[in-house]
Structure 1
C-alpha cells in the first residue's frame, strides 16, 4: 500500500495579526491544544502564510531567511511533540529574491520538505479581486515530494498550485498517498472552487487531498476564505472548518486508497500511447531523511 498505516492528522487554521511574536506564541498554544486533545496525532499541517496577514506589505516586512525564527519554531514543534510538521508557508528571503515557501519536518526535527510555490497568483476579476503575486514572489522550479518516515510519500503544492493538476499527477505516479496544499483562497474564488478543486485532485489521482488555510481576519484587506478541509480518494469531504480559528482532526486510512483504486483502476488503464506521461522526466525535489537529528 502507498500509505503504510493509518495516519492521524491535525489541521491548524490560525488567525494571524500584525504581531509576529504573538502569532508564533499562538501557534505554539494551538499545537499544544491539538496534542492535548488528540495525543495520537502524527502529523500537523498549517496554512499558507499561517503566521502573518496576507498582503505585499506584510510579506516584505516579515520575510526571513532559512534557517530563521519560523523554520526553527517548526523544527522545535516537531521535536517537542514528536510529530511530523507540514509548515504551511511564509515569505522566504533568499539573497535578493522572495519565495512563498513551505518547510516540513519529521518527528525528530529533520527537515524532510522544502517547497517553493510554483505558480504565481496573478488574476484580475473585475469588480471583485485583483492580485499579482509575481510582483513580490518568484516561482519555485520543481515539484515537491516528501518522504514521511513510517508512512510514505506526500506531494506538496501551495494554494494556486492546486489549479495546475500536473503537480498532483506527478506526486501520485511517484506513489504519493496525499497531496498537501497550504492555501489561502479568498471569498470570491473560495465558494466557487475551493472544495471543487480539492475533490477533483483527489478523484483524478486517487489520493487524499489536504487544504489548510488561515482564518479570516476582518481587519485586513485580503478576505481569506478559510474552510480548511480533508478529502478522501473518492472525493468525499471528511472534515471542513469555518472561517475562524479552528483545529480539525481526521485519520487517513490505507484501505480507503486501496479499495478505491481496486474499484476504479485508473493506473492500469492510462493510455500513454495516446498522451504523454507528464511524470516522466519531471523535475522533482525530495529531501532524504538523515540518520541524526538536526535543528534545520
Structure 2
C-alpha cells in the first residue's frame, strides 16, 4: 500500500505564489500522521498558469534552473515522490509542457512531454484554445519506475486518447496519473466519465489532479480531483475549492482484478504507438 496526496490548485502566472501554496499544503499534509503521503501529485501548469508569454518566460532546460531546483528541494524536504503535473521545458524546438517526477532525494527520475495538444473550441468565456501555439508536442510514452509503483504519466487532454492508456498498461503501469486543467464546461460534461473509463479499461489506479476555479488569466477550470480504483470506483475526491486530499492505494487490488478478469490476455487487437518507451 501507499498513500498519495493530491494538491488541487488555482494557479496563476507567478511561480513564487504557486510554490508558496504548494509548500503550505505539503506542510499541512505531512504534519498530520493520518494524512502523511508517500507521494504527491500536482495539477497541470502548477507552477505557471497564464498566457504564452508567461510559459516561455519561465521555461527552463530540463533538470536545470531555479524553479526545478525548488521543486526538487520540496520533494527532499517533505520526503515525498513529487509528481509535478506539468512544467514549461525549453528545448531546441521551442517549449514543451512536461510532467516531472522527483524522488525524496530530490533527483529527477522521469519526465514526460505532453503528447496531445488541446486545440479545440469550447463554449465558455475563453472559447478558443490552441495549445500548439504555445507548446511543442512530445513523442514518448513514459512509465516511471518507483519503489511505490510503476506510474504511467499523462497530462490533461491525453485523457481522451485511450490508446495511450492501453500503451501505459502494456508497459507495466499500475497507477496512471492525470494532472489536468480541464475547462469548467468540458470537466462538468466528461471528466469523471473519462477517468472511470480509463481505470476500468486499463485495470489501473487513476490519480487525477486538476486546477480549479477562476484564474488570473480569466480561464475557469473544473477541479474535482479524484482517485479511482481499477474497478472504476471513486475512492476519494475534492470538489471546487483549492486544497488537498490523501488517499490510500492498495496495489494488491490491481492483481486481484487482473487475475479475475484478464482482459489483456483476451484482447484481439495489438495496440501500438510510434513512440519510444522510457522507463526511468
Assess same fold via TM > 0.5: yes
- The match for 2:131 is 133
- The match for 2:194 is 197
Tell me, yes or no, if structure 1 residue 263 matches structure 2 residue 260.
Answer: yes
- The match for 2:23 is 28
Tell me, yes or no, if structure 1 residue 286 matches structure 2 residue 269.
Answer: no
Residue 232 (structure 1) aligned to one of 220, 229, 232: 229
Separation in 2, partners of 1:42, 1:193: 29
Separation in 2, partners of 1:104, 1:88: 9
Instruction: Write the deviation string for residues 239-296 of structure 1: whole angstroms up to 9, x where unpaired.
Output: 111222110110110222122223322122122xxx22326x7512222xxxxxxxxx
Q: Do 1:16 and 1:217's aligned partners in 2 also have CA atoms closer than 8 Å?
A: no
Separation in 2, partners of 1:270, 1:19: 47
Secondary structure at the residue paired with 1:216? strand
Tell me, yes or no, if structure 1 residue 277 matches structure 2 residue 271.
Answer: yes
TM-score by length of 2: 0.92
Q: Do 1:101 and 1:116's aligned partners in 2 also have CA atoms closer than 8 Å?
A: yes
Structure 1: where are the runs of 5+ without partners?
Answer: 1-5, 288-296
Q: Do 1:84 and 1:106's aligned partners in 2 also have CA atoms closer than 8 Å?
A: yes
Secondary structure at the residue paired with 1:52? coil
Instruction: Write the deviation string for residues 75-128 of structure 1: whole angstroms up to 9, x where unpaired.
Output: 112211221111111222224501111110122222111111010000124566
- The match for 1:291 is none
Instruction: Write the deviation string for residues 37-72 of structure 1: whole angstroms up to 9, x where unpaired.
Output: 246410010000012324324323332333122311
Residues 53, 152 of structure 1: alpha-carbon distance in 2 compared, 3 angstrom cutoff: closer
How many residue pairs match? The answer is 277
Secondary structure at the residue paired with 1:89? strand
- The match for 1:294 is none
Q: Do 2:72 and 2:108's aligned partners in 1 also have CA atoms closer than 8 Å?
A: yes
Separation in 1, partners of 2:15, 2:75: 20
Tell me, yes or no, if structure 1 residue 16 matches structure 2 residue 16.
Answer: no
Shift of 1:74: 1.8
- The match for 2:52 is 56
More strand by share: 2
- The match for 1:88 is 85
TM-score by length of 1: 0.87
